[in-house]
Each structure stands twice: as C-alpha cells, then as structure tokens.
Chains A and B, each alone.
Chain A
C-alpha cells in the first residue's frame, strides 16, 4: 500500500513535494528564504499554523457549503496565527520584521485554503495527520535547504556565523536569485524523482519476471 504513490503518506517529502512539485507557497521561499534564520522562523511558523489549523479545521462539519467551510478554515488559521506570532517573536527575535508581509500570509497558505478540502479532509483523520505532517516536513526541508545554501553563497555565513567563502554571490540573496535557485532545485528534484521511479519500475519488472 505504501508503495502506491497516490495513497502514500510519505508523498509530501519526495513524491509530491508541495514546493518543488506543486510550486505552492513559493513566495516566502523565494523572497525570505535568503538566510537560515529566516528559514527557521518561517518553517516554525508554517508548520505550527498549518498543522494546528488543519487539525482543528477537520472538525468543521462536512455538510456545510464549500464556501462557508473555506471561510471557517481561514478564520481558524487566523486565530491560530495569533499565538504562533507571539511565540515566533519570543523564539526568533527580529524575524517577523525581516520576513514582513509574508509572515501573516502564511495563515492563508494554499495548503490550508485549497488542499484541505481537495485532499486532506477526504482521508481518515489519522492518515490525514501523518500525510499532512510529511507535507509540512517536505516544505521545511526545502525552506531550510534554500536558506542554508543561499546564506552560505550570498553572504558567506552559516546561521549568521562567518564561513570560509572567498567570493560571496550577493545576487543569490535577491528575489531573482531565489527564483533561479528554486528553478534549479525543481529541476534536480524532478531528476531524482525520475531516477527513483525508474528504479522502482525496474525492481517491479524483475519481480514479475522472477514470479513467472
């Protein structure tokens, strides 16, 4: 069952990564993912808001009209946003100012507003939780990796500490650098996914032959 890509709960990390495959929530990754500190703050905020909102949102009656349900989800995520913002202010000082408008926009991200109804709330609650968890982990991995690499090459630092980089490429810290970097990551991701899919197919074909 887990091998079936459509129903696997691990899809969120590699099979159907929300950033690299579906290009969802890419603006914070491109604009604010230029340092590891920003990436940590964004990952924390995104994970908390999305998981809590979706878990609470799963209790909204399914009989309600679609529009009303979406409004409820947005309201729930806005309410969840308040304590998350306070906590982020405590844990990551100055991060909210650096991230700017993209921080509150996390409360109405496409995973909560669109994918909740289209995908997650159609699953049993336990499976939904794990699937959602892996989607969020998939986002966090991409965010942290982007923040780490862009900070290292753009500023020559790792989490604010000076690293031994001779020639920082400042262009990588700019939004256009983020776009290019994300584009290259998407290409690499698809290449890896293709390789893995091919390997799986080869294994299956070998199994079929051996069965016969």
Chain B
C-alpha cells in the first residue's frame, strides 16, 4: 500500500516535469497569458480538491496533488487566450463532477481532464476552438483578436497542411497550447513509457490504431502523409500520452490496454474521417470509459480465477522425488490436500444422499 502511494507521487512528479516543459514551450509561443491560464487552472483545481476532501472528511495528502497535473493537462488542451473563467470552471468541473463525485482518485472512471474538455467543448465550443497564431502575444487581461481555426480543423476539412515538417515538429502552428509541440511530446512519451508512468500498451494501441487506419483510408494525399498528419493533428499524440495512457484509467495489463487504446485510435480516426470532428480522440476516450471498466472487470476475474485453488482432479500428478522434502513443505501440502479432499467429499455427499432417497 505504501509502495503504491509512493509510486503515485513519483508518477505525478514525472508527469509534471513533462507538462511544465510543454507549458514552457507554450509561454515561448504565446507569452505570459498561457502561464497565467495554467496558474488559474492549477489554483482552482487545488482549491476544489481541498474543499471536496474536507467535505468527504479526508486529509489532503501529496497524492492528491495529481489534481494539479490534471489541471495542467486541461490548460494545455485549451486555447492559450481562452477566458480565464472558462478555464476555472473546467478545472472545478474536472475535480468535482468527473473525479470526486465518483469517489475520488481511487475510484476514477473518466480522465478528469478529458471530461472537463468535453464539458467545455459542449458549452463554449466556439471559444475553445479558436486559437491565436504562434508568436502572437496577448496581454493577460486584454481581449484576444485575430483568432484563427486550428491547423487540425483546416486539415480535417480541406486535407491540406500549410506547414513544413520542421514547423510541425516544433509546434509552430495554430492549435491547443500544449498539444502542438510534437517533438517534445515524442520525447515525453518515450520518457514516460520507460519510467512506466503511462500505460505503454494503451499509448501504442492508440497511436497504431490511428496510424493503421490513416494508412488504410487516407484523409487526403499519400498514405505516408496521411499517417504523419493524422498523428500530429487533432491532439492525437497529446491525448494518447496524457489521457488514453493514463494509468488510473487504462487497463492494468498491457495486452488489454493495447486493445483499449486501439479501439480509441480507430474510432477517433473514423470520426475525423467522416465528420471532420476536431480533437475527436478526447471525446472518444470519454465515451470508451465503459470499455476500460469492462477490461478492468475482466482483469479482476482473471486474477480471482488465478488465485483460486485448482481442483484435485485437474491437478497434475506430483513429481516423485527421491529426496525427503522439508518439514514445512510437507505440512503445507498436507493441509491443502486435506482441504481439497474434504471439499470434494462434502460436494459428493448430498448427491449420494439424493440417490439413496430416490432409490
């Protein structure tokens, strides 16, 4: 138990390091406003978490700081010039409605950041999906002007990308503050996978699902271009790392996690292809919550089945050894065998009785 607590804190630190690097890049492109936005999200998120924990009569521990990493994810998914009130509402919504209503960080169903993003998308979609051009510094309290649609929107609707690969890698195109720095995201993904902070299966499944379908049915251009742009646009990389591969949500076993990620990748690509839906992967990851829960239930059943004692009949005959086993081993085996015999006898007994009665 103590080990899992420590692990959670270490995961949080690693996630925060990668998120802060992305935030730094966002500051480079959009100025101090993006930092203030992140600060607003973190403060409101922490305040909401403290209040919720107080109401639930729990203590705020270092593990509860995960709410701040969720807040940073929310800030990085938004337009850097979005209204601060919207960011605050999103952060509070993530903590209260998507997390603590379901029992807190130990019983999470949704990724709080993804749920908050979907909530903001349905409430203030227009404000959320308009972005400033890179290197446009907006004052902290001034109204933004000259907002444009994201490069993802342009790609989804026209199939064209007017940026070089170098610009795309560095994130020099309009889009969510943190989800455009592709190179940094690749580095973050590698680091987090090797440190086992995110589910490698879910991440690979999501990326491979998108890439596979992008190659099979390209949105526009050649297959290789389709794969490249579909992985870079629509927050696919960002969401695959911080939402789909979130260890709190994704199935524990990598095998199941891979298929969970694969389904999300495939369905989000289908939505992009058919509806030109921007950032569909975030919506699909929320909709696929039941799949994650089903996989987790399956894992529990498998664990229970593995832990259950094997019936005596199906047990392999023990290998007879010439040497005499230890005293402790004899006693354990004897106890288990005795219990199995007793169980089988007790199971057989009523049937015999019934037979007798019938006779």
Contact = CB atoms under 8 A, between A and B. Distances in A.
Interface of A: 166-172, 174, 176-177, 180, 183-184, 187
B86 interface: yes
Interface of B: 83, 85-86, 89, 97, 101, 119-120, 122-124
A184 B124 CA distance: 22
Nearest to A183: B101
Contacts of B119: 171, 177
Contact of A167 (B86, B101, B122): B86
Contacts of A166: 85
A183 B97 CA distance: 9
Given A167-B83, A167-B85, A167-B86, A172 B123 contact: yes
A174 B101 contact: no
Contacts of A168: 123
21 contacts: A166-B85, A167-B83, A167-B85, A167-B124, A168-B123, A169-B123, A170-B122, A170-B123, A170-B124, A171-B120, A171-B123, A172-B123, A174-B122, A176-B122, A177-B119, A180-B101, A183-B97, A183-B101, A184-B97, A184-B101, A187-B101
Given A170-B122, A170-B124, A183-B97, 18 more contacts: A166-B85, A167-B86, A167-B124, A168-B123, A169-B89, A169-B123, A171-B119, A171-B120, A171-B122, A171-B123, A172-B123, A176-B122, A177-B119, A177-B122, A180-B97, A183-B101, A184-B97, A187-B101
A15 to B, nearest CB: 23
B284 to A, nearest CB: 15
B347 to A, nearest CB: 39
From B89, B120, B122, residue with most partner A Cβ within 10 Å: B122
A183 B93 CA distance: 13
B286 to A, nearest CB: 10
Contacts, number: 27
Contacts of B124: 167, 170
Contacts of B89: 169
A184 B83 CA distance: 25
Main secondary structure of the interface of B (DSSP, over half): helix
Nearest to B98: A180
Nearest to A179: B97
B82 to A, nearest CB: 12
Most buried by A among B86, B119, B120, B123: B123
Nearest to B121: A171
Closest 6 CB pairs of A and B: A171-B123, A171-B122, A170-B123, A169-B123, A171-B119, A180-B97
A166 B122 CA distance: 17
Contacts of B122: 170-171, 174, 176-177
A183 to B, nearest CB: 6
- Which has the most chain A C-beta neighbours within 10 Å: B85, B97, B120? B97
Contacts of A184: 97, 101
Contacts of B123: 168-172
A166 B86 CA distance: 11
Nearest to B102: A183
B110 to A, nearest CB: 11
A167 B124 CA distance: 9
A180 B92 CA distance: 13
B93 to A, nearest CB: 8
A173 to B, nearest CB: 9
A184 B97 CA distance: 8
Question: Which among A166, A169, A177, A183 has the highest number of chain B CB atoms within 10 Å?
Answer: A169
Nearest to B86: A167
A171 B85 CA distance: 15
Nearest to B83: A167
A187 B52 CA distance: 13
Contacts of A174: 122
A195 B103 CA distance: 21
Contacts of A180: 97, 101
Contacts of B120: 171
A174 B86 CA distance: 18
A174 B122 CA distance: 8
Contacts of A169: 89, 123
B101 to A, nearest CB: 6
A169 to B, nearest CB: 5
A167 B119 CA distance: 14
Contacts of A170: 122-124
A27 to B, nearest CB: 20
B109 to A, nearest CB: 12
